Structure 1
Amino acid sequence: MKIKISLFLMFFFSIITFAQKTVSGVVTDEDGVAIPSASVTVEEPGKDAILAYGITNSKGEYKVTFSSSESNVDLKVKAFNQRPQTKQITNSNQNISFKLQPEATEIKEVKLKTKIITSRGDTIAYDLKAFDSKSDRTLADVMKKIPGIEVKADGTIMYQGNAINKFYVEGKDLMEGGYGTISNSLPKDAVAKVEVMENHQPVKMLQGKIPSDAAAINIKLKKSVTMTGRGEVGSGFGDPWLWNVKLTPMFFSKKQQWVLNYKTNNMGEQVENEGNIIGFGSSWEGRRGNASQNSWLGVENASVPNLPVRRYLFNNVHYLSANYLTNIDKKQEWELKTNANYTNNAVERESTTYVTDFQQKTEYGYKFLNNFYTDKLKGELIFTKNAKKGFFKNVTTFSQFWNADRADANRWDVSGNRYGNQAVQSPTSSFQNSLSTIIPWKEKMVNLKSYINYQDDNQTLQITPAEYLKIPFIQNSSLTTIPFAPGSIALQNYRMKTLETSHSANISFTTKGWTFTPQVGVDFSTDKLTTNFDGTTTGVNGAPDFNSPLYDNALKFTEITPSASVGINYKNDAWSLFSNIPVNFNSIKAEDPTRNVNKSLNKTTFTPNIFVQYSFASFFKASASGNISNNFGDIQTAYAGYILTSPGGFNVMNANNPIPQTTSKSAGGRLEYRNPLNNLFFNAGYRVSNSKNNLLASSRVNSSGFSVIEYIESENSRETNTLYGEIGKYFPKFKTNASVTFNQSNTTSQQLRNNDFIDNKNVGNTLGFKFNNTYFSWMSVDFNASKGWTKQENGIQNNKTESYNHNLSVFFYPMENHTLGFYWDQINSNFGDTKYKNAFYDLSYQFSWASKKIDFELKWMNIANRKVFERIDLNLATVSQTTMQLRPSQVMFSVKFNFK
């Protein structure tokens, strides 16, 4: 790994030092008066291609950095009402000033033409109108076509391959990371521009002092006061009767913003995740995260196909959310935000799987029919001040879950068929409060942060009848099956109470672009776990006694980590650097008197991280990063009693095992190119990571696929090498956006299965292509495709699989206000001689009442009425062939409209 990191660093520094030259100077008129906003470009002689460019400031000063292999380059200056000037200069660092002569220009005809992509400093602005098609209605529809930007299926917006850290509307962060509601429902007609703010530091006090490597999105609206939103009401027939309702009114002004959202459907559209936090801001703002359950117990789950969700999701969902922001002071520095959402969702899922176990040379299968019930409520209250002379943010969050899962299971093997009903009840209460404030003190800044989290999880798993379980247990060093009594019930109870706190204080000193931030802090967490398994056996074959402490846990897991660190940050026009050098004093203790657990660990760790970025030649950015981290396990690796985490088998921990220790190291680098002058965007990178563990997972699997998972003390490692790249370009002349992506991942790891040591190696390659075109007035096309190759080698099986996916949408506009749509999803997979081809086709007709901005749509989905999806999966020692239930053919009629 050291050799790989060294080679990469050599590659990185060779990139940023190759032929980089800087030219600076002053541009004035003939009287010596500075000329602001003059453009300065560097070009190779005889070529119509700009190497780099700059704009003069209010003092007439410019600075341009470029790279070229030519011995001479042309330096050109242009300014309004001044005669353009060109100088041929040597390819070297130098200072060149210009004195321009006045030149009046007679303008015969004026044509206002807006540039589709413009750049100013670290902000790139996209004219939304240049990228939309007649079929687009919302912001998300258009953003998918903008070069350099990708909108993922879960709503996450990526810029140059990385997730954005903030999503603003007119500079205000109403959604606090849950921006999917706005991007999916804000009408495109309300938007003037989409701005990408590169290297965005969201805390204003830290701008220019603490750099950031993430980008943010800011939406510029056409009106300063905007009342808008999107609605849809639909009904249709399939099995059962279908409905779809979406109502999302919005309001934006300088002092207030709000979004209300109600969505319900049973036609396979996943709307309940729109409120998930997908933009996490800056760590200086405190902690942000999605509230989730500690889901230790679960029923056996039907498989999910790698298809668009609408193809397979049998749902009945109601999702309601409200977001409100207002300024509460005259200076408009203080903001009050309230966010709340409620989800009620019922999902049905079904699949059948046939498994071949190459290690044991056995075959078995199973069929699961699931019903998942989600019932959750979340509320937030947020106070924020984000000003140049002070920062304060307090977020209080409450979440309540009343979830439940059900499964009807059927398993078969050489011994015959078995049927079982499975149920999990899982209520959870959760409370968090995050506080962060930065106080100016003379020329310094003092940052105080506090985080408190309390959560209570209570879960129960029931299996009826218990003899459905063919769970292996070790008896006299051999593997046998627990003989449950016929007609009995197996019951696993679980409860865990968690308290987590984190407090820190730091002070920042800034001098000549450098910022030093020494910090002290302490993290404390305690988990109290109680579990009990209850079942009845026949009492033969040495059956286990479930009344023994072996099947109970009463564990207290405590972790205290005082820490001291120094943050080092630097920023100027070309360089950005931020690093953190912490020393952690880890103290961990696990106690369970009934199971004779008394483990402790006291260890000092050094976990530095660093990121450095260099901007050069106006369009390029090169960056490198590295970090070391330590993980000492958690309560899930410290208990010693058996826990039936799922009907697939017990999880077992050894009371004599030490506390797990994992040391991870990673390093990587990246080269970016984004040129708004020719609409070309490019990024490529490489990353290597390695983690070493002191415990190794050991699974004992019987011929029916049930298992017992233990952990033994044995050093093992996992290493992953990832190479990726993306290039995209917008062709204005043809109104076409195209991009190509590539990703290769190579992973090696170790595992024990039925006492066989397995050295597993996986190599995966993915090639992607995206294309959209709006050149013709009568047609628009959107096409996304990916091709994947995976190779697995582990001594038990050496296999190769291939996959191909594409999504095609073609819209025809035969007459004004009439749209015909054709949709084609294709998903193919190959394993040896076995090939699966799954094609899905949809048709739509839409009439637009243009003056009222109302659309009437009739859509026929899954025309071929394909009812199942087939897939092959490779696991450690098995190959699984799975058939999954899909939504049948269905027809929907919808009315879609803007609120204003």
Structure 2
Amino acid sequence: MKLKITLFVMIFFSALSFAQKTVSGKITDEDGVAIPSASVTIEEPGKDAILAYAITNSKGEYKVTFTSAESNVDLKVKAFNQRSLTKQINNSDQTVNFKMEGEATEIKEVKLKTKMITARGDTISYDLKAFDSKSDRTLADVMKKIPGIEVNTDGTILYQGNAINKFYVNGKDLMEGGYGTINNSLPKDAVQKVEVLENHQPVKILQDKVPSDQAAINIKLKNSVTMTGRGEVGLGGSPLLWNVKLTPMFFGQKSQWVVNYKTNNVGEQVENEGNILAFGNRFEGRRINASQNDWLNVENASTPNLPVKRYLMNSVHYVSANYLTNIDKKKEWELKANANYTNNAVERESYIQQEIFATDKSPATTVFQNIRNNFYTDKAKGELIFTKNAKKGFFKNTTSFSQYWNADRAIVDRNSTLPNSSRNGEEAVESPTTSFQNSLSTIVPWKEKMVNVLSFISYQTDKQTLEVSPASYLQIPGFFTPSTANFATQSMRLKTFEANHSANIGFSTKGWTFTPEIGFNFKSTNLVSDLSNVLAGTISTPSNTPISAYSNDLTYTTATPYGSVGVNYKNDSWMIYANFPVNSNNIKAEDPARSVSKDVNKVTFEPSIFAQYTFASFWKASVNANINNNFGEVNTAYSGFMMTSPSGINAMKATNPIPQNNNKSAGTRIEYRNPLNNLFFNINYRYSDAKRNLISNPTIVQGYTVMEYLERDNHVLSSGYSAEVGKYFPKFKTNASVSYSNNTTKSDLFLNDSFYTNKNNGQSAGLKFNNTYFSWMSIDYNASFSKTKQTSAGRAATNASRRGFTHNLGLFFYPIENHTIGFNWDQVNTSAVDQKYHNGFYDLSYQFTWAKKKIDFELKWMNIANKKVFETYEIGNTDTRFTRIQLRPSQVMFTVKFNFK
């Protein structure tokens, strides 16, 4: 491992230093007048490849940095109405000025032609028409085909493998990170171009002071005032199916809004469009996706590694509204109001055959289990945001409220090769949650300095009740009276209050910005729970166990005052930001009735640093490293028995100390993006060491588990590297990319009274391309190959491997104008030992377009083969699993699709 790190560091620094030269100068006309917007390129003699380029500024000045092993290079200058120049220069740092001769250009024919990819400074612009096909309708359809950009299955947009930090439309951030609705519903015809803003600092007062390594996306529309949107209405069978999508949008200079209503029972997860996918940066305050603390759960049926539309049995209604308006004449202050509501019902079913390995204490066992689920989601969220983002000050206050009324159901049939093990039960969870957050951040200039105050307050209550009938399903001797009428009830309430407050002052000098900060973080959680067995209105417990053992009343608090110094630097080539915090961690857990009383008081130093170097116009190299510490939460401290799932009852030993984990990580990255030849690639390496002071030592006692921890230092070591190369071939109208990743994790475990090391290695390779070369056909293809290998000491199966292959083919034919025939093929194959499973799915569609009205009429047949189950095989630390999962049957849909304008 040390050899790999050393080799990678050597490559990294050699890439920075090898033959890097800078040429600068000034370009004027015959009269000595500066020529702006002239292009300056560096090329190796005899080769048609651009090493680096630059554009002259308004003063005619240029500066270009390049790397070459040649002794001489060609410097070429071009400008409109000027005679082009070429001069061979030495491969060295130098200043070269040019005086260009005027030359009138005779234009015989005028053609307006936009370049597919252009770059100016840190902004890369993509002409959307260069990448779309006749079958594309929305921004998301085209975004997936742009070189350097990826769209994950959850909707997250990546640039060069990293998530973006902002998503703008005409320069405004309407969606505040929840950009899925616009990406999926904005018609492509309304978009002029997609802009990538590299190294984007969203807070204007911090630009050129506090750098950023993340990129943002700006969607530039054709018109400054645009009324648009997308709609679909579909019906089908069998059984009765519906799919309705109505998303009108308005984008003006002063205000923007999006209204969205979507409902379907065809397996589309439209309710996730409101998730926050881009979080900005810490100076904007804290942004979170509010979620429940899911402590209590019914047993869940498995889900397959397939597109969600193949297996999701849903009935969903999702409505959302987003509004932005400027509230002052200077257009510095913005008011944003966002709200959404989800009502969703999901059915799921799976069968599992589990082979549990033999140990010194127990024989090999086979468990058969069938689970049928109903999940009900009912949630609402509202958000109000006031923002001022100007060069002379920043203010942002975000208030959000979320309410959940969720419920889950399960019917489980279970038996095994052990005697008297056959059982079945009904399970139900009710889980209402209320959540409130307020985040405030303001930056005020003070002479030559900046004062920043941040405040975050959160309060959340979770009330959950889990019931299992009959109670004997849990098979805990002595706790339940044998009867089919009784049931076990687990009730739980969590109250969580969190407050984070800080203040810092920033001052800049010669490109450096220093930001000393003080702050105080506080979090308090109260857990109250009770487990009971009810029979005819009575509670039955074993005579030798006190009732208090089945309850919890735990208070867990964390108070962390801290001080830190932030250091930032930025110039034309370097970007550095670092933080050096010292934290005083004070943690306490108290539950007197169960003899829980423990605390930790520890000072930690948790530095982080990032450095990026830009060279030779197209290259970026970066390194990063950080150290952080985390301590246990309330779920590591309770000692009363709790039925978190009907699969067993758990408790923590009261004498367990509070966990203390120290995490160290480092990484490096080399990135290349060349808009001139449409080539993008990146290489990444990362290493981490998580040191833990405790190791779990579970004790299983006839149906319930007591979780004890041994005080023993142990590690989880992770390392991984990845690479991705993407290129657009204009001549063939093809965008292609390949990727590879290799990740290894080693962890210390304790099982069956012995220590052992578990090692997992996962490798994956991916291929993606799309082609629109032929006017009568277009192709979209994605494929991935994966291999995982697991090696464990101290168990029967010491080595195990699993291979997987998935691909998706989208093929569209255009035999006649306005007619489209589509074919889609999803394939998922898995193999392990002598088990092989092939799962293929096929769809066929026909679409007629009423061109004058821009309306599509689509008839689609999904899952032609009517494949009803998905089968797969997995190998774990202590078992193997064969899984069969219920899928959506064959179905036919007729859909009308249209734009609102």
Query: What range describes the TM-score normalised by the shorter chain of this pair?
Result: over 0.9
Counterpart in the other structure of 2:809:
808
Q: Which residue, out of 406, 410, 422, partners 1:407? A: 410
Q: Aligned pair 1:461/2:466, yes or no?
A: yes
Counterpart in the other structure of 1:300:
299
| Structure-to-structure mapping, 1:322-341, within 5 angstroms | 322-341=321-340
Question: What is the alpha-carbon distance in structure 2 between the residues aligned to residue 545 and residue 180 of structure 1?
Answer: 56
Counterpart in the other structure of 2:284:
285
Question: What is the alpha-carbon distance in structure 2 between the residues aligned to residue 569 and residue 357 of structure 1?
Answer: 54
Question: What is the alpha-carbon distance in structure 2 between the residues aligned to residue 48 and residue 880 of structure 1?
Answer: 56
Question: What is the alpha-carbon distance in structure 2 between the residues aligned to residue 4 and residue 853 of structure 1?
Answer: 56
The structural deviation recorded for 1:311 is 0.4
Asked if the contact 1:247–1:261 (Cα under 8 Å) also holds between the matched residues in 2, the reply is yes
Asked if the contact 1:701–1:753 (Cα under 8 Å) also holds between the matched residues in 2, the reply is no
Counterpart in the other structure of 2:203:
203
Asked if the contact 1:648–1:707 (Cα under 8 Å) also holds between the matched residues in 2, the reply is no
Counterpart in the other structure of 2:217:
217
% identity of equivalent residues: 66
Asked if the contact 1:29–1:99 (Cα under 8 Å) also holds between the matched residues in 2, the reply is yes
Q: Which one is further off, 552-561 or 360-369?
A: 360-369
Question: What is the alpha-carbon distance in structure 1 between the residues aligned to residue 439 and residue 315 of structure 2?
Answer: 34
SS at 1:652 equivalent: strand
Q: Which one is further off, 689-698 or 435-444?
A: 689-698
Measured against aligned partners, the alpha-carbon deviations of 1:28-62 in whole angstroms (never above 9, x if no partner) come to 12222211111111000111110000011111111
Counterpart in the other structure of 1:551:
550
Counterpart in the other structure of 1:417:
422
Q: Which residue, out of 722, 726, 729, partners 1:728? A: 726
SS at 1:129 equivalent: helix
Measured against aligned partners, the alpha-carbon deviations of 1:93-112 in whole angstroms (never above 9, x if no partner) come to 11111122222222222222
SS at 1:767 equivalent: strand
Measured against aligned partners, the alpha-carbon deviations of 1:643-674 in whole angstroms (never above 9, x if no partner) come to 11111212221221211000000000100110
Question: What is the alpha-carbon distance in structure 2 between the residues aligned to residue 498 and residue 89 of structure 1?
Answer: 68
Question: What is the alpha-carbon distance in structure 2 between the residues aligned to residue 658 and residue 698 of structure 1?
Answer: 13
Aligned residue identity for 1:822:
F
Counterpart in the other structure of 2:133:
133
Counterpart in the other structure of 1:243:
242
Asked if the contact 1:700–1:753 (Cα under 8 Å) also holds between the matched residues in 2, the reply is no
Q: Which residue, out of 349, 373, 388, partners 2:391? A: 388
Asked if the contact 2:656–2:708 (Cα under 8 Å) also holds between the matched residues in 1, the reply is no
SS at 2:396 equivalent: strand
The structural deviation recorded for 1:547 is 4.6
Aligned residue identity for 1:591:
E
Question: What is the alpha-carbon distance in structure 1 between the residues aligned to residue 627 and residue 7 of structure 2?
Answer: 19
Aligned residue identity for 2:388:
K
Counterpart in the other structure of 1:70:
70
Question: What is the alpha-carbon distance in structure 2 between the residues aligned to residue 536 and residue 196 of structure 1?
Answer: 61
Asked if the contact 1:21–1:67 (Cα under 8 Å) also holds between the matched residues in 2, the reply is yes
Counterpart in the other structure of 1:623:
622
| Residues 1:483 and 1:757: Cα distance change in structure 2 (over 3 Å) | farther
Aligned residue identity for 2:576:
L
Counterpart in the other structure of 2:342:
343
Number of paired residues?
889
Counterpart in the other structure of 2:872:
871
Question: What is the alpha-carbon distance in structure 2 between the residues aligned to residue 485 and residue 37 of structure 1?
Answer: 86
Counterpart in the other structure of 1:477:
none
Question: What is the alpha-carbon distance in structure 2 between the residues aligned to residue 544 and residue 745 of structure 1?
Answer: 51
Q: Which one is further off, 552-561 or 337-346?
A: 552-561
| Structure-to-structure mapping, 1:132-531, within 5 angstroms | 132-239=132-239, 241-360=240-359, 361-414=364-417, 415=419, 416-470=421-475, 485-487=482-484, 488-531=486-529
The structural deviation recorded for 1:491 is 1.0
Question: What is the alpha-carbon distance in structure 1 between the residues aligned to residue 90 and residue 309 of structure 2?
Answer: 60
Asked if the contact 1:482–1:537 (Cα under 8 Å) also holds between the matched residues in 2, the reply is no
Measured against aligned partners, the alpha-carbon deviations of 1:203-246 in whole angstroms (never above 9, x if no partner) come to 0111111110111000000111100000000100113x111110
| Residues 1:4 and 1:658: Cα distance change in structure 2 (over 3 Å) | farther
Aligned residue identity for 1:348:
E
Aligned residue identity for 2:892:
V
Asked if the contact 1:484–1:536 (Cα under 8 Å) also holds between the matched residues in 2, the reply is no
Counterpart in the other structure of 1:35:
35
Q: Which one is further off, 767-776 or 527-536?
A: 527-536
Asked if the contact 2:451–2:506 (Cα under 8 Å) also holds between the matched residues in 1, the reply is yes
Counterpart in the other structure of 1:474:
none
Counterpart in the other structure of 2:24:
24
The structural deviation recorded for 1:89 is 1.3
Counterpart in the other structure of 2:695:
696
Counterpart in the other structure of 2:847:
846
The structural deviation recorded for 1:87 is 1.7
Asked if the contact 1:535–1:546 (Cα under 8 Å) also holds between the matched residues in 2, the reply is no
Asked if the contact 2:489–2:534 (Cα under 8 Å) also holds between the matched residues in 1, the reply is no
The structural deviation recorded for 1:571 is 0.5
TM-score (norm 1): 0.97
Asked if the contact 1:420–1:468 (Cα under 8 Å) also holds between the matched residues in 2, the reply is yes
Counterpart in the other structure of 2:774:
776
Question: What is the alpha-carbon distance in structure 2 between the residues aligned to residue 328 and residue 715 of structure 1?
Answer: 57
Question: What is the alpha-carbon distance in structure 1 between the residues aligned to residue 424 and residue 811 of structure 2?
Answer: 47
Asked if the contact 2:487–2:535 (Cα under 8 Å) also holds between the matched residues in 1, the reply is no
The structural deviation recorded for 1:858 is 0.5
Measured against aligned partners, the alpha-carbon deviations of 1:706-755 in whole angstroms (never above 9, x if no partner) come to 75544332221101111101000001111101100111110011222332
Question: What is the alpha-carbon distance in structure 2 between the residues aligned to residue 110 and residue 426 of structure 1?
Answer: 67
| Residues 1:637 and 1:88: Cα distance change in structure 2 (over 3 Å) | same
The structural deviation recorded for 1:448 is 0.5
Q: Which runs of 5+ in 2 are unaligned?
A: none
Question: What is the alpha-carbon distance in structure 2 between the residues aligned to residue 773 and residue 373 of structure 1?
Answer: 42
Question: What is the alpha-carbon distance in structure 2 between the residues aligned to residue 129 and residue 577 of structure 1?
Answer: 37
| Residues 1:626 and 1:794: Cα distance change in structure 2 (over 3 Å) | same
| Residues 1:861 and 1:79: Cα distance change in structure 2 (over 3 Å) | same
Aligned residue identity for 2:513:
T
Asked if the contact 1:341–1:378 (Cα under 8 Å) also holds between the matched residues in 2, the reply is yes
SS at 1:686 equivalent: strand
Counterpart in the other structure of 1:786:
784
SS at 2:184 equivalent: helix
SS at 2:271 equivalent: coil
Asked if the contact 1:242–1:267 (Cα under 8 Å) also holds between the matched residues in 2, the reply is yes
Q: Which one is further off, 8-17 or 585-594?
A: 8-17
The structural deviation recorded for 1:545 is 5.4
What is the Cα-based RMSD across aligned positions, in Å?
A: 1.8
Q: Which one is further off, 355-364 or 183-192?
A: 355-364
Asked if the contact 1:857–1:895 (Cα under 8 Å) also holds between the matched residues in 2, the reply is yes
SS at 1:304 equivalent: coil
Q: Which runs of 5+ in 1 are unaligned?
A: 472-479
Aligned residue identity for 1:125:
S
SS at 1:281 equivalent: coil
| Residues 1:665 and 1:803: Cα distance change in structure 2 (over 3 Å) | same
Question: What is the alpha-carbon distance in structure 2 between the residues aligned to residue 492 and residue 341 of structure 1?
Answer: 31
Asked if the contact 1:865–1:889 (Cα under 8 Å) also holds between the matched residues in 2, the reply is yes
Asked if the contact 2:652–2:706 (Cα under 8 Å) also holds between the matched residues in 1, the reply is no
Counterpart in the other structure of 2:709:
711
Asked if the contact 2:642–2:649 (Cα under 8 Å) also holds between the matched residues in 1, the reply is yes
SS at 1:467 equivalent: helix
| Structure-to-structure mapping, 1:625-644, within 5 angstroms | 625-644=624-643
| Structure-to-structure mapping, 1:571-650, within 5 angstroms | 571-650=570-649
Measured against aligned partners, the alpha-carbon deviations of 1:69-93 in whole angstroms (never above 9, x if no partner) come to 1111111111112222222111111
Asked if the contact 1:362–1:703 (Cα under 8 Å) also holds between the matched residues in 2, the reply is no
